[in-house]
Amino acid sequence: MSPDFSSLIGNQGAIAKSGKSIYDSLHDSPEHFFASSDLESILRNSLLGFDLNYPLRTRSKVLKSRICEILGYPVPSSFKKSKPRFPGQDFDTYIQKSNNLQIWNEEIVPTRRYVIIRLDDSSKVIGVRVVTGEVLARLDPTGTLTKKYLAKSGKPITTSVLVTQSDAFSVHKTIERLPSRALALNQSSGRRVTLDFNRFLPIADLYRKLLKLVGKRISDPGVDQERNRGAMLHRAVCGVLGIAEHSDNWELSRRDGAVA
C-alpha cells in the first residue's frame, strides 16, 4: 500500500504548530507520533539524493538538522547527547556507506527505532530504512557491546605533552610475572601467536619515539574516511617504532623487536 503523503504532511504541520521539540514527550499527543512505516516513507521521500559530503561530525549534525525540518520540528541550536537522539519519536540515526552497522557504548534497545541512512561513494543518500532494535538484535548473534573511548582536551593543544611520566606499577609487575616475559594469545582465526615483552617500551621512551611523527603529513583519504585516516596513522606509528608492517590482527613483523 502506498503511503498517504497528504496525511504525513499534515502531521508535519501539526508538529510545527505544536511548538514541541524533538526532546518533548508525545504521551499527551500520540497523534504526532510517526509509525515506523510512515517515518521510513517520509524520510526516504525527502532524503533521497541529499548530499552529506561533510566531515563526520558536521555530517551528523547536517543530517539531524534536515530530519528536524522534514518532520516539522525546530532545529535546535545544538543537539543534546540524549539516548536516543530523537527522544520524542524514539529513534536514532546511523549513516552507512557499508554493511557493518556499529552501535557504540550502549545495548540495542528492542523497542527503539533505528533510522539507517545509506550513502553512495559520493556521499549522497541512496536508501533509508527504519527498523526496530528487535530486528537488529537478531542480526547480532554475539550480543557483544561495542565500546568507544574518546578523550578531549579542555584547552587548545599547541605542543606535545607527556601527560603521565611513568607507567602504572601494575603494568610492569604483570609483565614480570609472564613466563619469559611473553604472552600467548589465540586469534579469532584459531592461530596462536606470542607477544614478546622483552623489549616493552616504558611510556617515556614511547613518547620520545613518537615525537618523530611531529610534522609528518598524512595523506587525506577524504572528509568522511576516519577509519582509513586512522590506518594511515597506525602505519606511521609502526614506522617510528621499528615495526615492519602495519596490521590489526597481532601478526606484526618487527625490525628491531620493539613492543609498544
The verdict on 24 and 113 lying in the same domain is yes
Do residues 179 and 116 both lie within one domain? no
Residues 127 and 161 in one domain: no
**DSSP per-residue string spanning 240-258:** HHTBSS--SSS---BSS--
Same domain, yes or no: 21 and 122: yes
Same domain, 180 and 248: yes
Residue after which a domain boundary falls, among 138, 168, 187: 138
Measured between alpha carbons, how far is 87 from 85 in angstroms, rounded to an integer? 6
Q: How far apart are CA 65 and CA 75, in angstroms?
A: 6
- Does residue 146 form part of some domain? no
Overall domain count for the chain: 2
Non-local (6+) Cβ contacts of 193 within 8 A are: 184, 185, 187, 250, 251
Q: Are 246 and 235 in contact (CB under 8 A)?
A: yes
Domain with 169 in it: 151-260
Q: Which of 159, 146, 69, 144 is nearest to 102 (CA)?
A: 146
- Do 132 and 165 lie in one domain? The reply is no
End position of a domain, from candidates 89, 107, 138: 138
Residue 143 lies in a domain: no
Residue 244: phi and psi, rounded to 5, are -70, -30
- Length of the chain in terms of residues written: 260
- Are residues 95 and 186 part of one domain? no
One-letter amino acid at 216 equals K
CB within 8 Å of 131: residues ≥ 6 apart: 36, 113, 114, 116
Question: Would residue 241 count as lying in a domain?
Answer: yes
Domain end call among 81, 108, 138? 138
Query: Residue 241 in contact with residue 260, Cβ under 8 Å?
Result: yes
Q: Does any domain span residue 229?
A: yes
- In a domain, residue 238? The reply is yes
Query: What's phi and psi for 213, nearest 5 deg?
Result: -80, -15
Same domain, 116 and 169: no
Q: Say if CB 250 and CB 195 are below 8 A apart.
A: yes
Whether the pTM exceeds 0.85: the reply is no
Same domain as 57, residue 182: no
Q: Are residues 173 and 134 in the same domain?
A: no
Burial class (CB in 10 A: 0-12, 13-18, 19+), 71: buried
| Assigned domain for 36 exists | yes
Question: Residue 34 falls within a domain, yes or no?
Answer: yes
Per-residue pLDDT of the chain (260 residues; tens, 9 = 90+): 455 655 666 678 889 899 999 999 999 999 999 999 999 999 999 999 999 999 888 999 999 999 999 999 999 999 998 999 999 999 999 999 888 888 878 888 999 999 999 999 899 999 999 999 999 888 877 767 767 777 777 888 888 989 888 888 888 889 988 888 888 887 666 777 788 888 889 999 999 999 999 988 888 777 667 777 888 888 888 888 887 766 665 444 443 434 43
Q: Are residues 132 and 187 in the same domain?
A: no
Same domain, 155 and 235: yes
Whether the CB-CB separation of 46 and 72 falls below 8 Å is answered with no
User: Is residue 144 domain-resident?
Assistant: no
